[in-house]
Chains A and B, each alone.
Chain A
Amino acid sequence: MLTSFIKRGAVAAVALAGLTTAAFAQMELKIMAPAAPGGGWDGTARSMQQALTAAGIAKSVQVTNVTGAGGTIGLAQLIGAKGDGHQLMVNGFVMVGAILLNKSPVNLTQVTPIARLTAEALVIVVPTDSPVKNAKDLADRVKADPAKVTWAGGSAGGADHILAALFTEAAGGDAKKINYIPFSGGGEALAAMLGGRVTAGISGYGEFEGQIKAGKLRVIGVSASKRLANAPDAPTLKEGGVNVELLNWRSVVAPPGLSDAQKTELSGAVEKLVKSKEWIEILKARGWDDAYLGTAEFDAFLKTETVRVEKVMKDVGLVK
Chain B
Amino acid sequence: MSRTIDRPALVVGFLLLAVAAIIAFDASRQTITSNYGVGPTAMPYVVCTGMVLLGLAHLFVAFRDGLPKPEAADGRALLWVGGGLVGLIACIALGGGFIVATAILFSCTARGFGRDALPTDIAIGLVLGTAIYLLFLKLLTLSLPTGPLEALLS
Contacts and interface: CB of A to CB of B under 8 A. Distances in A.
B28 interface: no
A62 interface: yes
Nearest to B141: A63
Contacts of B138: 9, 13, 16
Contacts of B31: 320
Interface in A1-45: 2, 5-6, 9, 12-13, 16, 37
Given A16-B139, A37-B142, A62-B143, A317 B32 contact: yes
A19 to B, nearest CB: 9
Contacts, number: 33
Interface in A29-71: 37, 46, 49, 62-65
Contact of B35 (A2, A46, A177): A177
B143 A13 contact: no
Among B31, B141, B142, chain A packs the most CB atoms within 10 A around the CB of B141
A81 interface: no
B35 A13 contact: no
Contact of A178 (B35, B131, B135, B143): B35
A9 B32 contact: no
A2 B131 contact: yes
Interface in A303-320: 317-318, 320
B39 to A, nearest CB: 12
Interface in B35-51: 35-36
A63 B131 CA distance: 20
Interface secondary structure of B, over-half rule: loop
Contacts of A176: 35
A36 to B, nearest CB: 11
Interface string B121-154: 0000000100100010011011100000000000
A147 interface: yes
B32 A320 contact: yes
Nearest to B138: A13
A243 interface: no
Contacts of A177: 35
A179 interface: yes
A9 B135 contact: yes
Contacts of A2: 128, 131
A33 to B, nearest CB: 11
A167 to B, nearest CB: 16
A49 B143 CA distance: 14
Interface string B97-137: 00000000000000000000000000000001001000100
A73 B113 CA distance: 37
Interface in B13-72: 31-32, 35-36
Given A2-B128, A179-B35, 17 more contacts: A2-B131, A5-B135, A6-B131, A9-B139, A13-B138, A13-B139, A37-B142, A46-B141, A49-B141, A62-B143, A64-B143, A147-B36, A178-B35, A179-B36, A317-B32, A318-B32, A320-B31
21 contacts: A2-B128, A5-B135, A6-B131, A6-B135, A9-B138, A9-B139, A12-B139, A13-B139, A16-B138, A46-B141, A49-B141, A63-B141, A63-B143, A64-B143, A65-B142, A147-B35, A176-B35, A178-B35, A179-B35, A179-B36, A320-B32
Interface of A: 2, 5-6, 9, 12-13, 16, 37, 46, 49, 62-65, 147, 176-179, 317-318, 320
Interface of B: 31-32, 35-36, 128, 131, 135, 138-139, 141-143
The 3 closest A-B pairs by CB, nearest first: A9-B139, A12-B139, A179-B36
